[in-house]
Amino acid sequence: MPVRIVVVKKLSVVFLFVLHFAVHAQMTAEEQALVAPLTISNSIPNDLLAARTVVLFQNTFSRSELEETQKYFQQTGIDAVCYFDIAYALAGADTRKAFANYFAFRNIKYVVLLQKEANQYTYVFGTFCGNKDLFDKTSIGWKQSNTSQVELLRTIYRFAASNLKKQNFLINDLPELDIAMTYFIGRFNQNFSVEAKSFKTAIPKMDNEKDNAELEAFLKEYYPFKFEMVDAKAEEPELGARGFRTILRVVHTQGRIAREILGYDPTQTGRALATTYFVEGVPQIKTIPSTQPVYKFYMKSIEYGNIFLGNKWDADITWQDALRNYVMAYRADAKIN
Per-residue pLDDT tens over the stretch 33-42: 999 999 999 9
Please check the confidence at residue 18 and state whether its pLDDT lies above 70.
Answer: no
Cβ(228)–Cβ(200) below 8 Å: yes
Please check the confidence at residue 74 and state whether its pLDDT lies above 60.
Answer: yes
Burial class (CB in 10 A: 0-12, 13-18, 19+), 337: exposed
User: Average pLDDT over the chain, rounded to whole?
Assistant: 91
Alpha-carbon span 174 to 191, nearest angstrom? 42
pLDDT of residue 178: 87
Mean local confidence (pLDDT), 22-43: 83
Please check the confidence at residue 22 and state whether its pLDDT lies above 50.
Answer: no
Contacts of 121 (CB under 8 A, 6+ apart): 114, 115, 145, 146, 147, 148, 149, 152
Cβ(98)–Cβ(105) below 8 Å: no
CATH 3.40.50 segments of the chain: 37-163
Please check the confidence at residue 220 and state whether its pLDDT lies above 80.
Answer: yes
Alpha-carbon span 121 to 146, nearest angstrom? 5
What is the number of alpha carbons within 13 Å of residue 114 lying toward its C-beta? Answer: 27
The number of helix segments (H) and strand segments (E) in the chain equals 10, 14
Please check the confidence at residue 330 and state whether its pLDDT lies above 80.
Answer: yes
What's the CATH number for 37-163? 3.40.50
Residue 95 — pLDDT band, cuts 50, 70, 90? Answer: very high
Residue 49 Ramachandran class (φ > 0 left, ψ -120 to 50 alpha, else beta): alpha
Residue 68 — pLDDT band, cuts 50, 70, 90? Answer: very high
pLDDT of residue 3: 35
Question: Residue 131: phi, psi to the nearest 5?
Answer: -135, -175
Please check the confidence at residue 7 and state whether its pLDDT lies above 70.
Answer: no
Cβ(235)–Cβ(295) below 8 Å: no
Q: Which residues lie across from 83 on neighbouring strands? A: 55
Nearest to 324 by CA among 195, 223, 246, 225: 223
Alpha-carbon span 289 to 158, nearest angstrom? 43
Residue 25 — pLDDT band, cuts 50, 70, 90? Answer: low
Nearest to 74 by CA among 55, 89, 87: 55
Strand order in the sheet with 246-254: 188-189, 307-308, 293-301, 246-254, 201-204, 227-230
